[in-house]
Each structure stands twice: as structure tokens, then as C-alpha cells.
Structure 1
Amino acid sequence: MQKPEPRNAAQELSPPESYTSRVGMRPSSFYQHFRRVTSPASTVAYAVGYERVLQFTREYRRLFGTPPVHDIKQAKGRIPSPPDNEP
């Protein structure tokens, strides 16, 4: 029996240009939009009325002395795991 060749996940990914052409955006615009909608800080920034995540992050750091991602990681570490549902 022949051994299967190891898979290289990086080679299987589509290049970003294929996505940007599908949605009609420049790569830089696509990247900025992707970061904006996938960042936990972006959710908070828009919820409290900021139009730009960068502005929110800058002001958050100035006020609290640390970037929001630092506090997000700490908060995630303090949130207990949900209990297992037993039948």
C-alpha cells in the first residue's frame, strides 16, 4: 500500500487576490474590511459609536495604558467554560 503524501495546507489556500477580484475590492481594502469585521475590538468600537477602529484603539490605549486586545485576552482567560450537558 502506498503512503499518502503529506498535505501542505498553505498550498491549498486560495491567494487573497482571488477573493478580492470576486468582491471587486483592492487587496488593501479587502484586508482592512476583513480585519474590521473579524476583530473583537471592532465590535466594541462600533457599538460605542466610533467610526474607525484605529481611533478607538488609540484612545483606549491612551486612557487605559494598554491596547484593547490585551484586555480582551485577559478577560477570555477569566471566563469560565460552560458546564458539560449531561443526558
Structure 2
Amino acid sequence: MPSIQFTLDDLRRILLEAAGADENVDLAGDILDTTFEVLGYESIALLETGGRIEREYGIVLDDDDLADDITPRDLIDAVNAQLSPAGARAA
């Protein structure tokens, strides 16, 4: 079975679809280690983003995976942990 990888580009696409982007934030820039709060995404926007990720990738994210004090890197890691064969067996 081929491995699916969730990338920063996937996250950017879903963020834009779910909540748009603050005009003062360049999502194309180096955002991996910037908290979602600083990027202008509050809890409701993150919940919508998480819901879209869950539906598209067939996973379930924990509430901690969608806190506004996490970074895109944290969320990407959480998604990929569930997409990995070991993560899929643990779910």
C-alpha cells in the first residue's frame, strides 16, 4: 500500500479553503514554526481546517492537534503520524 504524505502545501491549500488568509500573512513564506495564532487562525478556523483534513485523509485529530498555540509543523507531524502504517494500526 503506498504511503500518503501530508505536506505544507496540502496544509496551505486546506487553510485557504477553510478559512482564507489574513492579508498581512504570507502563507507562501516560511511558516512552519510560526503558531497558528500569529498566522491569524483562531480556534474556529483551526476546527474547520481540522475537519477538512479529517474528511480528506480519513483520520481523526485530537483537540490538542488543533490548538492555536501549535505550529504548522506540529499539525503536519500529527497528520503524518496517523497516515503512517504504524499510526494507522494504532488508530
Query: If the TM-score is normalised by the length of the shorter chain, which range does it land in?
Result: 0.3 to 0.5
Q: TM-score, normalised by structure 2?
A: 0.32
Higher relative contact order (CA 8 A, sep 6+): 2
Query: Larger Rg: 1 or 2?
Result: 1
Q: TM-score, normalised by structure 1?
A: 0.33
